[in-house]
Amino acid sequence: MDLKVALSEEQINCARRIYDGIPQMKQADAALKKLREKMPGFSIEECLLKAGAINSLYGTQILAIVQMGRHIADIFTNPHKPVGVGLVESIAKLPGKPNFISFASKFCHFFIDEEKYPLYDEATREAMKLHLGNKKYLANEQHPYKAFYENFIRLRNLAGLQCGTRDLDYYLWITGMYMRWRKERNNKRPRISRDLLQLFQKPTKTQIKELDALLPSILDRAFKGEL
């Protein structure tokens, strides 16, 4: 079973270099890793601080953050807590609230195992769909993270990639955000990360070359910079 749109290790490497060139993003990730080192447990206080950090740095838009912190702590005190993708979906189901899959995936990624839990994001899903094709892309409304995880692993295997979860996530997120920017770049408020918006609108010569190598050839180039 082949990919609809090919994906290479070099594209992944380009994504890593682009991400490493955006200090704000690297600093946010470093802060979360430091928090994990300093607070390895899951008491109510630790869960609240971790949940607040994810919500603030990644803009996951949870207003009931204290309730979420308690919810996560309750899950971790249960000796029969779910594992794997089930843990993400359990955290996401805050009683009486929407399903916070994006937040839950980030919590598990940064505070449990970054290789085991890829980051769930709408832009990432669109990039995966581009490569897998609609027919091979799995969807499951009852278990969205399970389907997302299976798509992620299938894509990595079919592409024959040796990269880690985080590196593939960099690529998918940047590509998915670029796809969204192409559609929304004339809007007053495109739904794009501020750092990536600047990258797409005014890339440096080096960034243009990296983006050109990173993006699938099927996508047009709409950079305003100059080679």
Mark whether 130 and 168 lie in a shared domain: yes
Instruction: Report yes or no: 103 and 97 within 8 Å, Cβ to Cβ.
Output: no
pLDDT of 139-180, one tens digit each? 999 999 999 999 999 999 999 999 999 999 999 999 999 999
In this prediction, residue 227 carries a pLDDT of 40
Q: How many domains does the chain have?
A: 2
pLDDT band at 193 (very low <50, low <70, confident <90, very high): confident
Amino acid in position 93: K
pLDDT band at 125 (very low <50, low <70, confident <90, very high): very high
Mark whether 127 and 17 lie in a shared domain: yes
Mark whether 98 and 153 lie in a shared domain: no
Report the C-alpha gap between 90 and 101 in whole angstroms.
Answer: 9
Mean pLDDT, residues 60-70: 94
User: Which residue range is the domain that position 16 belongs to?
Assistant: 9-21+120-214
Mark whether 66 and 173 lie in a shared domain: no
Residue 222 lies inside a defined structural domain of this protein: no
Identify each DSSP E strand in the chain by its residue range.
none
Q: What is the pTM of this model?
A: 0.92
32 C-beta neighbours (distance < 10 Å), count: 21
Mean pLDDT, residues 13-31: 93
Residue 220 lies inside a defined structural domain of this protein: no
- Of the candidates 194, 165, 163, the residue with the CA atom closest to the CA atom of residue 177: 194
Mark whether 127 and 174 lie in a shared domain: yes
Question: How does the average pLDDT of the chain come out, rounded?
Answer: 93
pLDDT band at 96 (very low <50, low <70, confident <90, very high): confident
DSSP state of 9: H
Residue 179 lies inside a defined structural domain of this protein: yes
CA count, 13 A, side-chain hemisphere, 116: 12
CB-based contacts of 158, cutoff 8 Å, min separation 6: 1, 2, 3, 132
Amino acid in position 187: N
